[in-house]
Structure 1
Amino acid sequence: MGQWRAPGGILVEAIILDDRPLLRVSHRVNGRTYLRGYCKTVSELDEHGVDLGELVEAGPLDHL
């Protein structure tokens, strides 16, 4: 699945949850990861403070 990063520790991941495709938004602060929420569409990312213009695709090893 795809992963995208935004400034400030925001991570957006394309996932499957209960057989539904969703975007999971999380926020990394001081070494801890906090769930911000799930989105059904890209347009909902704004509700979680994600600016689409700032997203950068993350590689498979970027989360380590």
Structure 2
Amino acid sequence: MDRRWVGTDGIEVIPMVRAGRQVLRVRRHGGLVADCVSVAEVARLVDLADLCEVVELPRPRGYEAVG
């Protein structure tokens, strides 16, 4: 899984490359809010203190997903 951060009110921040430039894509409830070129731009849209990085833990050997 790639890096991403989630926050309150359905906020998600995902680093990505757009038109050859790295951006931080801000989404709310799945809809695009903005592609920001700096953390300062993200901070104008969301409270950075509310963001939490999503960390995928390694799965135990032989683990099978249910569902």
Q: TM-score, normalised by structure 2?
A: 0.73
What is the match of residue 10 of structure 1? Answer: 11
Q: CA deviation at 1:47?
A: 2.5
Q: Which TM-score applies when normalising by structure 1?
A: 0.76
1:51 to partner: Cα distance: 0.8
**Which runs of structure 1 show a deviation greater than 4 angstroms over 4 or more consecutive aligned residues?**
none
Task: Please report the RMSD computed on the Cα atoms of aligned residues, expressed in angstroms.
Answer: 1.3
Q: Deviations over 1:6-51 (max 9, x none)?
A: 11110000101111000000001xxxx2110011000111232x11
In structure 2, stretches of 5+ residues that fail to align are: 57-67
Aligned to 2:54: 58
Identity of aligned residues (%): 31
Give the structure with the higher percent strand: 1
Pair member with larger Rg = 2
